[in-house]
Amino acid sequence: MWVAASTEQLLTPTAVALGKFDGVHLGHQRVIQPILHSTVSDSISSNGRGNGDKLPKYSPDHPSQLLTVPSSPNHTYSTVVTFDPHPQEFFTGQPRALLTPLDEKVEQLRSLGVEQLVLLPFDRELSALSPEDFVKKILVQKLQCQKISVGEDFCFGKKRMGNAKDLQIIAAQYNIPVTIVPIQTDTVNFPNNTDNIPNDFTEDGRISTSSIRQSLELGDMTRATRLLGRPYSLTGVVITGQKLGRTIGFPTANLQLPKDKFLPRLGVYAVRVVIHSETPDTAPVEKLGVKLGVMNIGNRPTVNGTYSTVEVHLFDWSGDLYGKTLVVELVKFLRPEQKFADIEALKTQIQLDCTIAKEILNRTY
Residues tagged active-site: 311
In angstroms, the CA 247 to CA 302 distance is 14
Residue 360: in which H helix or E strand, if any? Answer: helix 343-364
* Dihedral sign (CA 263, 219, 111, 10): negative
Q: What 3-state DSSP class applies to 312?
A: strand
Q: Cβ neighbours of residue 336 under 8 Å, at least 6 residues apart? A: 219, 265, 266, 267, 268
Best CA proximity match to 24, nearest among 2, 3, 44? 44
Best CA proximity match to 311, nearest among 216, 365, 246? 246
Cβ–Cβ under 8 Å, residues 14 and 127: no
In angstroms, the CA 36 to CA 22 distance is 19
Tell me the one-letter amino acid at 308.
Answer: S
In angstroms, the CA 75 to CA 56 distance is 18
Q: Is 85 exposed, middle or buried (0-12, 13-18, 19+ CB in 10 A)?
A: middle
In angstroms, the CA 312 to CA 310 distance is 7
In angstroms, the CA 126 to CA 134 distance is 8
Tell me the one-letter amino acid at 149.
Answer: S
Cβ–Cβ under 8 Å, residues 81 and 17: yes
DSSP at 169: H
Strand partners, 292: 272
How far is residue 80 CA from its own chain's centroid? 15
In angstroms, the CA 223 to CA 190 distance is 9
Q: What 3-state DSSP class applies to 198?
A: coil
